[in-house]
Amino acid sequence: MTVPFSYVRPVSLQDAMNQLADKTARIHAGGTDLLGCLRDGVFHASKVVSISRLSNLHGMRKRADGGLTIGALTTLAEVASYPAVMEKYTALAQAAAAVASPQIRNQGTLGGNLCQKPRCWYYRGEFHCLRKGGDYCYAAAGENQYHCILGGKNCFIVHPSDTAAALVALDASLRIAGPRGSRIIPVEDFYVLPEKDVTKETILEPEEIVTEILLPPVSILSRSSYRKVRTRQAWDFALAGVALVLEHAEERVKQSRVVLSGAAPAPWRVRAVEKIINGSSLEDDIIKKAAWAAVSDARPLSKNGYKVPLFRGMLEEELEKTKNRM
């Protein structure tokens, strides 16, 4: 049962932050994740602070430096269909289009997608697990078929957002407003691994709000993509996903960023793969080597070993496709 809470809709960022000074207040953007968490008792809130009236947080604009700024309240459907995103930041458009269902993409925002809570069924269920302040991870020896194979320690969630992997690959940053002013953080540094703090998914402090997603300018020789494998082709979270950004020159990879989703408690950048493919023409042996390197550090749990060959095969296919486009 949902515990009663008060609901406020501030019209200024400052007022929103003041409202969030109450430590059990929660931000409400599209509500597609928050309301489920409140209803299921994953956490409680004394106050829900809707940020929907903060008009500066809506919409996208091209910047003078050639980059793109996306307001945190821009919906996933808007992001997926915006021409400049589709053309220059294809991985992000594809990731946003791969999220959930049309209804959720119309209501869910990009900021909310990046800040959503994990989908571990023990965390979401009636289990007082480590992440909720308990002293045990039920997935470690339990039903762990959808859990992580990389980066887990004590807790084995996978990070749920498709767009986060694409944004790390695209080297995007977040503007975060807080009581002490605003700060800009690369998306790559936004997430917290369990080994650092098992009760936190992001570096956000309680009064902070993600206001903008900042995409750097892209070279005309850069191509990006996001591929997601799920158990069924209707709405579902990634079993395995990969975001690729490759800049090429003279049929060689000049530089690359490769990020896995569905693999770890945070979007998982695989620098070992980047090192292997940079400077190459993606010859068959290089692709094979890269695909193996992507999961060479994997430590599967009792029921998710299938993810290792799944990631290998997916990466091989994606690099093969990229080679044909170079």
Ligand X SMILES: Cc1cc2nc3c(=O)[nH]c(=O)nc-3n(C[C@H](O)[C@H](O)[C@H](O)COP(=O)(O)OP(=O)(O)OC[C@H]3O[C@@H](n4cnc5c(N)ncnc54)[C@H](O)[C@@H]3O)c2cc1C
Residue with the closest Cβ to ligand X? 112
Of the pair 207, 274, the CB lying nearest ligand X is at: 207
Binding segment (CB under 6 A) for ligand X, from list 63-71, 86-94, 133-141, 234-242: 234-242
Confirm or reject binding of residue 90 to ligand X (CB under 6 A). Answer: no
Residues 6+ apart with CB under 8 A from 321: 225
Q: Give the residue, chosen from 111, 142, 151, 241, that forms a contact with ligand X under the rule CB under 6 A.
A: 111
Q: What residues does 227 pair with on adjacent strands?
A: 242
The least CB distance from residue 48 to ligand X, in Å, is 9
Confirm or reject binding of residue 121 to ligand X (CB under 6 A). Answer: no
Confirm or reject binding of residue 212 to ligand X (CB under 6 A). Answer: no
- Let me know: does 85 contact 67? Beta carbons within 8 Å: no
Confirm or reject binding of residue 265 to ligand X (CB under 6 A). Answer: no
Binding segment (CB under 6 A) for ligand X, from list 23-31, 86-94, 281-289, 303-311: 23-31
CA distance 10 to 12: 6
Nearest to 45 by CA among 8, 10, 98, 100: 8
The least CB distance from residue 27 to ligand X, in Å, is 4
Residues 6+ apart with CB under 8 A from 3: 38, 41, 44, 45
Structural element, H or E, at residue 292: helix 284-294
- Please state the φ and ψ torsions of residue 152, each to the nearest 5 degrees: -85, 140
Of the pair 233, 324, the CB lying nearest ligand X is at: 233
* Residue owning tokens 């408690």: 265
The least CB distance from residue 28 to ligand X, in Å, is 5
Confirm or reject binding of residue 113 to ligand X (CB under 6 A). Answer: yes
